Structure 1
């Protein structure tokens, strides 16, 4: 038997969620009625519940704050944000507070129960877009992954050496037997790779990273 506590300040939502979930024979639901204060939370016994479904907007207090209070009093409680808003907007903050995820009120009974079972098992179901964002943040900079020396070709290194001497683009072009336009294109590429906006910065960073000596 799964014991679920629903925390929502709208009676219709509380009773509706209870009715939907209890259509599953193995589920028992209880609703926590207002007021949602620290004093009331201290009086309430959360131990019997496998999962707490927590609404985001609860009048004078929001679900994040209330969840934080509950988890400070009962660290083993498993809380899921249960909201009509875009859950991805709150997922990161929820996890940082110790909430084990967020699920939309628009999900079907089957998906909601599946989510609850994962949380009971100590798992977190992460929305795809949120997870993709995490992966994108962890992708290494191509320069860092390959090494600076491998990312810059010999022409770019030669140009950096000439830039260090204080030569103009035309002087560099004449010295390397290239067109002025080629030098300009190469400098743009160098600036992008080094994430700099000036010739001085480019030389300083290139020397610091060992691209040029």
Structure 2
């Protein structure tokens, strides 16, 4: 397994290298102090499995870096790391194509759990972002389009998407063929006028769709 850590603080990179050993003692960790070096390493190592990318870097911010990674390495999953919790930034990062967002104040075990999920093909949406129904700013509410109405089956698919499940997982959970699930996902993307599953999750949240709480 090969993971690229991008952070301008050497101590943070060293700390993450030690944490990542919790995935595999033989893990190969590459380090970059800035985006320019990160892009070079990504080009030199096409077998990268994951990138841990700091949002605040000396040569560009995380959104700009995500855009470049997305163009050059569209299949490479990226988890954005930040020292602060900013819902607006979270939404922007996930809409830009990140596979997850984690704050640096989180626990090592939590980070490893998110990494494992992302490496399995899931998308990690921070709980803070999924529970923002009452905390949108006025300007965001004014710019939010009318709620897109889904069929009951599409809602079931959407909630599983929001929980980070793959098409195969959804197929098993709902007892549907993968082709049927793919068609439902395509309909959801068209309905929200977005291109990716991550953008669909963000759009769904802005339209008032939130994962139902488990029964107790």
1:67 is matched with which residue? 66
Query: 1:41 Cα shift?
Result: 3.6
Please list every run of at least 4 consecutive aligned residues from structure 1 whose deviation after the TM superposition is greater than 3 angstroms: 23-27, 38-43, 134-138
1:19 is matched with which residue? 18
Task: Say if 1:33 and 1:42 are closer, same or farther in 2 by CA, change over 3 A.
Answer: closer
TM-score, normalised to structure 2, is 0.55
**Structure-2 separation of matches of 1:42 and 1:109:** 25
**Structure-1 separation of matches of 2:131 and 2:38:** 40
Task: Say if 1:19 and 1:38 are closer, same or farther in 2 by CA, change over 3 A.
Answer: closer
**Structure-1 separation of matches of 2:129 and 2:19:** 28
1:114 is matched with which residue? 113
1:123 is matched with which residue? 122
Higher RCO (CA-CA < 8 Å; seq separation 6+): 2
Task: Say if 1:39 and 1:113 are closer, same or farther in 2 by CA, change over 3 A.
Answer: closer
Query: 1:8 Cα shift?
Result: 0.6
**Structure-2 separation of matches of 1:108 and 1:122:** 22
**Structure-2 separation of matches of 1:116 and 1:43:** 18
Tell me if the contact between 2:10 and 2:33 (Cα under 8 Å) persists in the aligned partners: no
Query: 1:31 Cα shift?
Result: 3.0
CA RMSD of aligned residues (A): 3.2
**Structure-1 separation of matches of 2:120 and 2:42:** 27
Structure 1 unpaired stretches of 5+ = 145-213
Check if 1:91 corresponds to 2:90. Answer: yes
TM-score, normalised to structure 1, is 0.55
Check if 1:7 corresponds to 2:6. Answer: yes
Q: Which moved more, 1:127-136 or 1:107-116?
A: 127-136
Structure 2 unpaired stretches of 5+ = 150-216
**Structure-1 separation of matches of 2:2 and 2:55:** 21
The C-alpha deviation readout for 1:101-154, integer Å capped at 9, x for no partner, is 21011222211011011111221222223113369989x99xx9xxxxxxxxxx
Tell me if the contact between 1:87 and 1:103 (Cα under 8 Å) persists in the aligned partners: no
Query: 1:32 Cα shift?
Result: 2.9
The C-alpha deviation readout for 1:148-199, integer Å capped at 9, x for no partner, is xxxxxxxxxxxxxxxxxxxxxxxxxxxxxxxxxxxxxxxxxxxxxxxxxxxx
**Structure-2 separation of matches of 1:39 and 1:31:** 9
